[in-house]
Structure 1
Amino acid sequence: MISMYLTGNSWLHRTPAGFKLLLVAVASLLLFQVTSLWVFLLCLALVVGLYASLGREGLAQLKLLRGLTVFLGILLLLHWISGTLWEGLAVILRLIVLVLAANLVSVTTRMDDMLEAVTPLFKPLEWFGYSARKPALGVALVLRFAPYMMQIFSRLREAYQSRSGSRNSWRLLPPLAIQCLRMSDNVADALRARGGSEGLSRR
């Protein structure tokens, strides 16, 4: 299965998946109550430090932000036009911190561990005869592959820039869609080979 998981035995890898997911969820709620740029800068430095603790491979994951540059630029421009530039900076920093934090969980958590951590949230469905693992698998796949799709877009944009000199174009959308469909096929094949959602169990 395609994966962004970084093999290792760091303290982040050993931290339980449920605790990491809960920490990111709580941090997200708290950061939406904050407007201070200094707090966001401090949180950004902390998250970057966590990536640095994983070594070069961890720091390389920061390239994920390349896929967000256009969106963040447009967002900042809109706030500048509306006269709320500082508020826009706070929004952008909040988004960067949350994206990096979510990606950090993804690269330090095995897929089956993430699935086991999310499954208890859907246990009430079993009272009505539905599988809890299927929706949990959907959530785990989103957490795992959303950053991967951003990396795909970043690579396509870099290739397009090297050929045309332009960083962005609507022409990037068709190859992005094709790459995402190929990825979904690979993931589907891997899931079928492992027995679907029920086959993804801890070993």
Structure 2
Amino acid sequence: MTGLYVDSASVLHRTPTSVKFLLLSLILAGVFLVENLYALGGILLFSVLLYPVAGIRLPFAWAAVLPVIPFIVLTVAAQMVFSSLHGGAVFGVRICVAVLLASLLTYTTRSSDMLDLFGKVLGPLHHVGVSPWRAGLVLSLTVRAVPMLSASITTAREAFVARGQKAAGYEIVVPVIVGLIQSAEAIGDAISARGLEFDVSEA
């Protein structure tokens, strides 16, 4: 299966997938409870520094955040208008932290490991007629959707720059959609090539 895994021998790469998901959940739960902007800034810095600790270059962190910047700007502006400047800033930092950490999880976790974890966690669904393997596959692909979108947007922007053009937001929509469709087709082909379109339990 194709993915955004970045090979490395870091501690984060060697950490069990279940532990990484648990830590991600706890950190994000804490982030969305913190209101102090200075504390959130420290958490944001910590999230960025985790990338080199994991042996992943900082441009990967920027590539993860770049696609959601327009959404963050619009949402923060709305928060500032209808709530307060502090509330808008807090919301923006929270989203950046969430995107950085979720992307780091995909960079340091193999698709197969993620799929195995989801299959085990969703095991009880088998009793109600739902395939845990299929449900795990859907969740695994969903987790990787945001980084895949990020990579597609980055590729489209770089293509415009390489041609000496400045890409406006609307001009990259079509290339991004085409890139995502190609990625989806590649994933589908990989699944079919490995005979994974059928759950093992169904064979």
Normalising by structure 2, report the TM-score: 0.87
Give the count of matched residue pairs.
198
Question: Match of 2:52?
Answer: 52
CA distance in 2, matches of 1:109, 1:166: 32
CA distance in 2, matches of 1:198, 1:38: 50
CA distance in 2, matches of 1:29, 1:120: 23
Question: Match of 1:89?
Answer: 89
CA distance in 1, matches of 2:198, 2:25: 26
CA contact (8 A) 1:120 1:132 kept: yes
Structure 1 residues not aligned, in runs of 5+: none
CA distance in 2, matches of 1:199, 1:125: 14
**Deviation readout 1:147-197 (Å, 9 max, x if unpaired):** 12122113324544675535322x332222211111110000001112216
Bigger mean CA deviation after superposition, 9-18 or 141-150: 141-150
Q: Relative to structure 1, is the Cα distance of residues 163 and 76 closer, same or farther in structure 2, using a 3 angstrom cutoff?
A: farther
One-letter code of the match for 1:101? L
Bigger mean CA deviation after superposition, 136-145 or 189-198: 189-198
Question: Match of 1:106?
Answer: 106
CA contact (8 A) 1:126 1:132 kept: yes
SS in 2 for 1:27: helix
Question: Match of 1:182?
Answer: 182
CA distance in 2, matches of 1:197, 1:14: 29
The within-5 A match list for 1:17-28 is 17-28=17-28
Deviation of 1:88 after TM superposition, in Å, equals 0.6
Alignment RMSD: 2.1
CA distance in 2, matches of 1:27, 1:103: 14
CA contact (8 A) 2:31 2:94 kept: yes
Q: Relative to structure 1, is the Cα distance of residues 72 and 128 closer, same or farther in structure 2, using a 3 angstrom cutoff?
A: closer
Deviation of 1:76 after TM superposition, in Å, equals 2.4
Is 1:66 matched up with 2:72? no
CA distance in 2, matches of 1:68, 1:163: 24
CA distance in 2, matches of 1:151, 1:93: 21
**Deviation readout 1:69-106 (Å, 9 max, x if unpaired):** 21122122223333511111100100111111111111
Structure 2 residues not aligned, in runs of 5+: none
The within-5 A match list for 1:136-175 is 136-160=136-160, 164-165=165-166, 167-169=168-170, 171-175=171-175
% same residue: 26
Deviation of 1:146 after TM superposition, in Å, equals 1.9
One-letter code of the match for 1:167? A
